[in-house]
Amino acid sequence: MTHLKKSVRRETPAQWRGRRLIVILEPPDLVTVKEKGRRTGYTLTVESIYVLAADAEARRRIAERRKRRPRVKRGLLT
């Protein structure tokens, strides 16, 4: 795999509030996402993006499992 030595900037087809999103890969392991035409961006490490993605997938799987599980009515025993 080629090591990242300089910033790589790409415009994505995804949009946020009507503006296209720009993704910037920066050495050694940073990823910045910003709206096209704006200066403010959000920078994360590749590791933190991985953790966020893994957490989102785990939450999705748990929600899917809960949908398949039969509901148990909990009420007062009289």
Tens of pLDDT, residue by residue over 15-71, are 999 999 999 999 999 999 999 999 999 999 999 999 999 999 999 999 999 888 877
Q: Which domain holds residue 45?
A: 8-68
Strand 41-45 with 30-35, pairing: antiparallel
Overall number of domains in the chain: 1
Determine, yes or no, domain membership for 78: no
Determine, yes or no, domain membership for 76: no
What 8-state DSSP symbol labels residue 69?
A: S
Determine, yes or no, domain membership for 18: yes
What 8-state DSSP symbol labels residue 51?
A: H
Q: Provide the residue type at 33 as one letter.
A: V
Determine, yes or no, domain membership for 74: no
Residue 13 has pLDDT above 60, yes or no: yes
Helices (H) and strands (E) in the chain, counts: 1, 4
